[in-house]
Amino acid sequence: MNRSARILVLTNGPLARNPRVVKEASALSQAGHAVTVLGVRNHRPSVALDRDIVAASSFRLEQIELLDGPRAWLRRAFARLARDCAVRGGPATIHALGPALALLRRARSMPADLVVVHNEIAHWAGLRLLDSGRRVAADIEDWHSEDLLPEHRSGRPLRGLRRVERDLLHRAAYVCTTSHALADGLHARYGGRRPEVITNSFPLPPAADSAADRPPAFFWFSQTTGPGRGLEAFVSAWARTSRPSRLVLLGEVSGDFDRRLLTLLPEERRRHVDFLPPVPPAALPALIARHDIGLALEQADIVNRDLTITNKILQYLGAGLAIVATPTAGQREVLARAPEAGVLETFADPAAAAAALDGLLADPAALSFRRKTARRLAEDHYCWEKEAPKLLRLVDAALAK
């Protein structure tokens, strides 16, 4: 068992927007490995957050610069040119998704006993590193070639992404993903080794109860509060509920989406909706825990969103929130372990969904039981304390080959 290896983790953005990378790098460095994360500095609000994450961690961070300086301008211009070319009918290439060449060049210059690649441009770079004899493992957190709404897929190099995904399953030292449903889907499509499952679980926060002297609160979060995330269907149902409750949405609001969402509600109900700005990752668990019911509104008609288990539902479980989830394969996989932790609802029929929501709100004792069941599910299965040892075993086996 090698406990002093050099491990390089590649990703396509800042740490603050890649919690899975942070958890992986932290676990490996705490196990005694010398870990460096090579990412991309492309989101100015994350710069200070990344600095805080690294200050509290034992791994190193290097980044490809996309914000400041002449090289950053050239890299952005090259990516923009590649996107424009693809949208206009030309070849769609990986370079439309970020600084793939710069990431590859920098990774080639960094010695490592194992390279672990996350996300599209890092997956592409990982294959090139495999070709040069490097030892590479892959984390397929999302099925990138089967993600996004159709209108957002224009210009994406779908053929190239599928080729990369297939080759990684056949050639990488190991491949891991986020759910058994996604592992089965990838294996059925591409063959190779079935990916190992390491969920997107988080370290268990302290158990907490929300204030009992106010109406229960539904909570939802994402990096962006906007269309295509199931909020419109939920709000249409919530508008029909008769029991008092609140709705809290956290994320950077896209355009005038907040105004458009409120128009789905009667005037009196609108004052019970709060839009919160994004918070640092370290502050999110405590904020979630101040609410009662977590909304996991993934869309089953997007293959990736159907099969994966996203951060949301797992963070809700850790914070002890009851769950309202759409019945995607990934979310059914979670709640199958403890159906009492929440309810599955399609929101296809607003009146029926409203009745289900009122059922949650009507009985405080039953809601409290659901919350406690959710927390136990996190403690028993869906927490990073359970997942980190799996990751360490995979890495040890890869290093021993």
Q: What's the pLDDT tens digit per position in 11-39?
A: 999 999 999 999 999 999 999 999 999 99
User: Quick check: is 196 in a domain?
Assistant: yes
Same domain, 178 and 231: no
pLDDT > 70? residue 211: no
Task: Tell me the pLDDT band of 253, cut-offs 50, 70 and 90.
Answer: very high
pLDDT of residue 88: 87
User: Quick check: is 70 in a domain?
Assistant: yes
pLDDT > 90? residue 228: no
User: Quick check: is 207 in a domain?
Assistant: no
User: Quick check: is 289 in a domain?
Assistant: yes
Determine the Cα–Cα distance for residues 380 and 352; give it in Å rounded to an integer.
32
Task: Tell me the pLDDT band of 152, cut-offs 50, 70 and 90.
Answer: confident
Determine the Cα–Cα distance for residues 168 and 164; give it in Å rounded to an integer.
6
Same domain, 30 and 78: yes
Q: Which tens digit of pLDDT belongs to each residue from 358-385? A: 999 999 999 999 999 999 999 999 999 9
Q: pTM for this structure? A: 0.93
Same domain, 244 and 190: no
Q: Are 7 and 116 in contact (CB under 8 A)?
A: yes
Q: Are 34 and 58 in contact (CB under 8 A)?
A: no
Same domain, 375 and 350: yes
Same domain, 376 and 388: no
pLDDT of residue 89: 86
Structure tokens at 384: 């990073």
Same domain, 172 and 304: no
CATH of the domain at 88: 3.40.50.2000
Same domain, 248 and 365: yes
Determine the Cα–Cα distance for residues 27 and 38; give it in Å rounded to an integer.
16
pLDDT > 60? residue 257: yes
pLDDT of residue 1: 46
Q: How far lies 65's CA from each of 84, 112, 164, in Å?
A: 22, 22, 25
Question: Across the chain, what does the average pLDDT equal?
Answer: 95
pLDDT of residue 213: 65
* 146-179 burial code (b ≥16 CB/10 A, e <16): bbbeeeeeebbbeebbbebbbbbbebbbbbbbbb
Q: How far lies 55's CA from each of 44, 48, 49, 245, 284, in Å?
A: 18, 11, 10, 40, 18
pLDDT of residue 153: 85
Q: Which tens digit of pLDDT belongs to each residue from 164-188? A: 999 999 999 999 999 999 999 999 9
Q: How far lies 303's CA from each of 143, 160, 193, 299, 307, in Å?
A: 8, 18, 20, 8, 6
User: Quick check: is 209 in a domain?
Assistant: no
Q: Into how many domains does the chain fold?
A: 2
Query: What value does the mean pLDDT take over residues 280-302?
Result: 94
User: Quick check: is 243 in a domain?
Assistant: yes
pLDDT > 80? residue 128: yes
pLDDT of residue 3: 65
Same domain, 115 and 131: yes
Same domain, 173 and 244: no
Q: Which tens digit of pLDDT belongs to each residue from 75-110? A: 999 999 999 998 888 999 999 999 999 999 999 999
Same domain, 369 and 394: no
User: Quick check: is 212 in a domain?
Assistant: no
pLDDT of residue 149: 78
Can you point out the beta strands (E) in 127-263? 136-140, 175-177, 196-197, 217-225, 246-253
Structure tokens at 280: 């640092």
Domain span at 12: 6-201+384-400
Same domain, 368 and 389: no
Same domain, 59 and 162: yes
User: Quick check: is 46 in a domain?
Assistant: yes
Write the DSSP string, 115-155.
EEEESHHHHHHHHHHHHTT--EEEEESS-GGG-S-GGG-TT
Determine the Cα–Cα distance for residues 316 and 335; give it in Å rounded to an integer.
12
